[in-house]
């Protein structure tokens, strides 16, 4: 039996819970001053004030992890990424800097369709190697669970290849991966004006193979103007739900289309982006328990307005935060950038930000029962910060202050 003891922390943040935190409850991060954590066989055995915990154990039975002068907290959960893809779109970023908007670039053959070409030309081995490199970087930032989407194939062969790459990468011991099938991520040229036929193709040809091979837990669609409308999105998501998959949706990013309302109607696990979500949609998500996953790095890099994080929390939503790492609109997996933008431009308190990238992030990938907090019985997915207080997360802006990353009780990274 492996037994470890995290000692001498200035504070332990438990973020305790086995489900999402809504509204004002997001402020509760379970701070324990001078705390300690007992780990046995990769699981959290006990957490509490160090002085009390040490009364009931023989310290010599444990390997000590010294967190003197440090903050201990749950590992981060990045609940929306596209980390498996081929090729890059650096030139498009320069186009945006000179004033071209995202939809204009898509109309010129850039955007998602450009990444589709590069991904289709990539072998399984190439996709695995590139994905592994990106995961290495995530782990160093303190991410212990990540979601990955397909969506840069659009056709059967490439969508399956992307998902198979993620299945191989799931064998890693330093990070857990939740997989999402995002076949309807864009419309190929031959399907322009025939989007209903493309949805039929995804439902009848691609979805059954994904389900048969057990390659994805979630299904997702880009519900947006000039991509897929609400009715097309409803049809695809309902088919995926009927096939036993959980639902996510790219909703109300550029135009207020009603994606948030659709997520609530269908009981989606999360609705993501939400820059243009209506008051009615926000109210519906809060009522139905849909996680509102916000992606401020994307808004920042697209020079768009930010989602109304403050309004959503004040109106009872469970907000999660994620990087949206992808090859076009948001080529970053920087957790420090995510924290800074959320705090400065979405008016989120740092306690709410912490909740959003721990327990609420875990809920957004249906894993709040096993990760996302330091609770007895959960996986010992823990990070140690190189400072004595969680207030250093926004204060040391844009800098990675994660010192040690622990996954299932094992140290997997040290910065």
Binding residues for 4-imidazolone-5-propanoate: 89, 152, 185, 253, 329
Q: CA nearest 111: which of 80, 154, 79, 146?
A: 154
Residue keyed to tokens 């959320």: 342
Q: What CA–CA distance (Å, rounded) separates 215 from 402?
A: 32
100 Cβ contact list (under 8 Å, min separation 6): none
Residues 169/131, Cβ–Cβ less than 8 Å:
yes
Angle, CA of 374, 333 and 267, to the nearest 5°: 65
Residues in the annotated binding site: 80, 82, 89, 152, 185, 250, 253, 324, 326, 328-329
- What would the DSSP string read from start to end of 108-120? TT-THHHHHHHHH
SS3 163: helix
* Residue ranges of E strands in 209-348: 218-219, 222-223, 246-251, 270-273, 291-294, 318-321
Q: CA nearest 342: which of 290, 394, 400?
A: 394
Tokens of 22: 């809504």
Residues in the annotated binding site for Fe(3+): 80, 82, 250, 324
Residue keyed to tokens 């431009």: 345
Q: What CA–CA distance (Å, rounded) separates 137 from 132?
A: 9
Residues in the annotated binding site for Zn(2+): 80, 82, 250, 324
What sign does the CA torsion over 194, 199, 201, 206 have? positive
- How many residues appear in the chain? 415
Compute how many other C-beta atoms are within 10 angstroms of the C-beta atom of residue 133. Answer: 10
Residues in the annotated binding site for N-formimidoyl-L-glutamate: 152, 326, 328
Q: Is 216 exposed, middle or buried (0-12, 13-18, 19+ CB in 10 A)?
A: buried
Residues 81/149, Cβ–Cβ less than 8 Å:
yes
């Amino acid at each position: 039996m492996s037994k470890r003891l995290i000692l001498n922390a200035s504070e332990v943040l438990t973020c305790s819970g086995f489900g999402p935190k809504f509204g004002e409850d997001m402020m509760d991060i379970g701070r324990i001053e001078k705390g300690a954590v007992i780990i046995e066989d990769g699981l959290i055995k006990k957490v509490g004030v160090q002085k009390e915990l040490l009364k009931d154990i023989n310290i010599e039975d444990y390997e000590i992890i010294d967190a003197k002068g440090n903050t201990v907290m749950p590992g981060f959960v990045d609940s929306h990424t596209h980390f498996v893809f081929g090729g890059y779109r650096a030139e498009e970023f320069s186009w945006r800097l000179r004033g071209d908007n995202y939809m204009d670039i898509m109309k010129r053959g850039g955007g998602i369709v450009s990444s589709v070409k590069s991904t289709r030309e990539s072998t399984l081995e190439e996709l695995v190697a590139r994905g592994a490199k990106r995961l290495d970087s995530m782990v160093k930032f303190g991410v212990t669970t990540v979601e990955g989407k397909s969506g840069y194939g659009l056709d059967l062969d490439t969508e399956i290849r992307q998902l198979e790459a993620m299945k191989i990468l799931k064998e890693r011991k330093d990070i857990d991966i939740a997989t999402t099938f995002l076949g309807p991520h864009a419309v190929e040229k031959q399907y322009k004006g025939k989007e209903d036929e493309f949805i039929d193709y995804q439902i009848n040809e691609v979805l059954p193979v994904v389900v048969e091979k057990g390659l994805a837990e979630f299904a997702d669609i880009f519900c947006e103007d000039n991509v897929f409308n609400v009715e097309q999105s409803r049809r695809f998501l309902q088919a995926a739900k009927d096939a036993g998959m959980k639902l996510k949706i790219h909703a109300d990013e550029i135009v207020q289309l009603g994606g948030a309302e659709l997520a609530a109607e269908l009981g989606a696990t999360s609705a993501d982006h939400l820059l243009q979500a209506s008051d009615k949609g926000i109210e519906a998500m809060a009522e139905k328990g849909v996680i509102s996953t916000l992606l401020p790095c994307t808004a920042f890099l697209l020079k768009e307005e930010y989602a109304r994080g403050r309004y959503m929390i004040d109106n009872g939503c469970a907000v999660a935060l994620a990087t949206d790492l992808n090859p076009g609109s948001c080529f970053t997996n920087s957790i420090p950038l995510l924290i800074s933008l959320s705090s400065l431009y979405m008016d989120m308190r740092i306690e709410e930000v912490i909740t959003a990238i721990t327990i609420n992030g875990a809920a957004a990938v249906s894993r709040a029962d096993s990760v996302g907090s330091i609770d007895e019985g959960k996986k010992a997915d823990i990070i140690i910060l190189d400072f004595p207080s969680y207030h250093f997360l926004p204060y040391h802006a844009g800098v990675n202050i994660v010192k040690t990353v622990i996954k299932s009780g094992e140290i997997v990274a040290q910065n």
